[in-house]
Structure formats: C-alpha cells, structure tokens
Amino acid sequence: MTEGPLILIPAAGASSRMRGADKLTRPVEGVPLLGRQVAQALGTGWPVLVTLPPDRPARTALVLRLMATAGGRLRSETLADANEGLSRSLRAGALAALEADRDLLVMLPDMPGIETADLQRLVAARTPGILICRATAEDGTPGHPVLFAHDLLPEFAHLYGDHGAAAVVRAHREELTEVPLEGRRACEDLDSPEDWEAFLSR
C-alpha cells in the first residue's frame, strides 16, 4: 500500500444552518475557512481531495486557485448529487483512496482548530490491527478528523444520507483507537452564525 493517506475534505455541504451565508468562504484570520483547511492538509505532504457542490462557484474558484500552486497534490470533484448528504462525499473519497491504494483521512472543512500536526498524529497512531483512528477532545469526547484503513473502504459503498461513516465505525469498534487532541478542537465546528460569533469573539 502507498505510504500516507488520501485526505478528504468533504466541502459539498449546503451550509444550511448559516441562513444564506457560505461558511466555507468566510475568513478566519484573513483566509477563507476552506482555504485554511486545505493549507493544513497540504502541509502533511499527502494528496488532498476536496468534494464540491455544483452550486457554490466561490468555493470552486477558491479550490481552483489553490490547485494552481499545489504541485498536483490537490484535486477536486464536483458532485452533481451533493444534496444526498455527507455520505456522497465519503463514497467519492473512498473510491479515490482505493484507486490510489491509500488509507482515507477525513478532515471536515468547518473545524478551524485542526492543524497539520493533528493529522500527522492520527496517521502515526495507525498500528497493526487498528483500522480506525479517531480524534477526540481532551476529555475523550469523540470528534474529527478520522482515519480509515484501506481495507475498510469497500464498506463505504453502502453509505447513504447525512450520517457519515457512523455505521462503519460501529461495525469496527474493536479495531478503533482514539487520539486525544488538546482542548476541544476535535469537536468544535463553525456550523451556524452563533458558532461564528463565539469563535470570532475569542
């Protein structure tokens, strides 16, 4: 198997709780949130796939600009049926990782606390017999990112809706290890205007 995972950033969601705004193009420290996440992922040196919806041209334009300077390590896939939910992005990522003979590391696009070093810690935790490495908050609360072994990826073909890979995780609890990250950054996402207000007021 190829060393290092494929990092999937599932950015095809509708930002439905943002009341019309696109959270992924809002700036965090002067950089669009999605651009910040892509930069952290590229910092690992591993390939990155960003899934996109067909109706968010600003996201697409942002990723295309980043691709121009990523040296071939970043690519995107526009999902015509993105409204199916997160599982549609996960299936696309699993297929791409299988084709590349890599594990799959899922990094959500709206969690600005996640850093390159966190992604590297998850991959370092993947030892023989471990098929899932899941980040948690410091207090043990399950969160993201999550690394899935290559051998699990055929199971992603059966995922549908907006429940993510919860069914895969439940089926392989005995082969899962948890990787605590400092504070609560493994659980903090910017999903609503209130989340953004709290984050920016810190």
The CATH number of the domain covering residues in 6-200: 3.90.550.10
Q: What is the pLDDT of residue 84?
A: 92
pLDDT above 80: residue 199: no
pLDDT digits (tens, 9 = 90+) for 11-64: 998 765 555 578 899 898 889 999 999 999 999 999 999 999 999 999 999 999
pLDDT digits (tens, 9 = 90+) for 86-120: 999 999 999 999 999 999 999 999 999 999 999 99
**Are the C-beta atoms of residues 161 and 84 closer than 8 Å to each other?**
yes
Q: Which residue has the tokens 């609503």?
A: 192
> Region 64-79: what's the mean pLDDT?
96
Distance CA 190, CA 192 (A): 6
Lowest mean pLDDT among 60-69, 161-170, 190-199: 190-199
Average pLDDT, the chain: 93
Domain ranges of the chain: 6-200
- Give the whole-number percent of the chain exceeding pLDDT 90: 81
- According to DSSP, the β-strands at 6-10 and 176-180 are unpaired
Residue 78 region, left (φ>0) first, then alpha (ψ -120 to 50), else beta? Answer: beta
pLDDT above 90: residue 163: no
What's the pTM? 0.95
Q: How many CB atoms lie within 10 A of CB 126?
A: 19
**Are the C-beta atoms of residues 121 and 186 closer than 8 Å to each other?**
no
Q: What is the pLDDT of residue 191?
A: 76
Residue 4 CB-density burial (10 A; 0-12 exposed, 13-18 middle, 19+ buried): middle
> Region 170-184: what's the mean pLDDT?
96
